[in-house]
């Protein structure tokens, strides 16, 4: 798959693409990333890419023409036909919140063109003409779309085969369908006792059935506490069995008990 990133700050991506476990996806070509600076498609000696907003107000707005020319060059480089073009994604506060289902979809796609806005945003005419979908990371505002683009790329890259050390690792991630969309359970490692805090006994029992039940209960308890909407979603989907429901009922009656 291929992702083309339109950004005024391509240098921000260099350490991201060459660091950490997900670099395997980029180095191997499983996830190809090309960076494009719209300033290279601007006119004049100063290569201006922004201007003041019509109607007044603070801040600057990214101009439509450099962005459109940049996108046209990307289309040419991708050798796309007019009927088969990669979708254009803009990172914006008005977009749909990025979630696991969306990431899983992108991880199985042919890629997209990612537009990283800056300043007060983009000229709406470019958005109306070229943007297919807008994505948000949450109810807050960043200085630009680069961090959001990296978040999407990282989430997509780690789902590619051979990227993680353990192929099944991402199956145990929070929100994964393999966990019925629940949050993941707590994890522990050596030493068994750290500053007076011990690893839960059930994890040391060697009884795999008991361990898995403990982990399931922990996932249910954590999700019920932090994201009860996910528990209800799992319930409506028929993912909770009688043991799950009994545990949750007991949890609601005695919320402070040790799961």
**Backbone phi and psi for residue 9, each to the nearest 5 degrees, phi listed first:** -130, 65
Q: Which residues are catalytic?
A: 93, 120, 158, 173
Per the listing, tokens 């996806």 go with 25
**Backbone phi and psi for residue 164, each to the nearest 5 degrees, phi listed first:** -85, 150
State how far the Cα of 35 lies from the Cα of 27, in Å rounded to an integer: 15
Cis peptide leading into residue 232 (ω within 30°): no
State how far the Cα of 45 lies from the Cα of 109, in Å rounded to an integer: 39
State how far the Cα of 16 lies from the Cα of 25, in Å rounded to an integer: 12
Q: What is the DSSP letter of 183?
A: P
For residue 197, the cross-strand partners are 194
Q: What is the DSSP letter of 178?
A: G
The number of C-alpha atoms within 13 Å of 22 and in the hemisphere containing its C-beta is: 17
**Is-contact 94 134, C-beta < 8 A?**
yes
For residue 3, the cross-strand partners are 33, 112
């Amino acid at each position: 798959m291929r992702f083309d990133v339109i950004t005024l700050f391509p240098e921000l991506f260099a350490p991201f693409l060459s660091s950490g476990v997900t670099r395997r996806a980029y180095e191997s070509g499983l996830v190809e990333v090309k960076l494009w600076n719209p300033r290279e498609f601007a006119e004049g000696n100063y290569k201006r890419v922004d201007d003041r907003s019509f109607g007044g107000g603070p801040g600057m707005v990214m101009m439509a023409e450099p962005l459109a020319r940049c996108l046209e060059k990307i289309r040419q480089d991708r050798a796309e036909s007019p009927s088969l073009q990669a979708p254009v994604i803009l990172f914006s506060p008005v977009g749909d919140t990025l979630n696991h289902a969306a990431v899983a979809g992108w991880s199985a796609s042919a890629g997209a063109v990612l537009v990283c806005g800056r300043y007060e945003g983009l000229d709406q005419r470019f958005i109306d003409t070229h943007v297919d979908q807008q994505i948000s990371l949450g109810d807050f505002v960043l200085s630009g779309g680069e961090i959001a683009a990296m978040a999407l790329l990282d989430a997509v890259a780690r789902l590619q085969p051979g990227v993680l050390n353990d192929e099944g690792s991402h199956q145990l991630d929070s929100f994964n369908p393999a966990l019925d969309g629940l949050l993941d359970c707590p994890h522990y490692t050596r030493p068994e006792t750290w500053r007076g805090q011990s690893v839960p006994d059930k994890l040391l029992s060697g009884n795999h059935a008991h361990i898995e039940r403990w982990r399931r209960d922990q996932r249910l308890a954590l999700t019920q506490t932090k994201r009860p909407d996910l528990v209800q979603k799992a319930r409506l989907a028929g993912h909770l069995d009688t043991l799950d429901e009994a545990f949750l009922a007991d949890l609601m009656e005695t919320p402070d008990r040790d799961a």
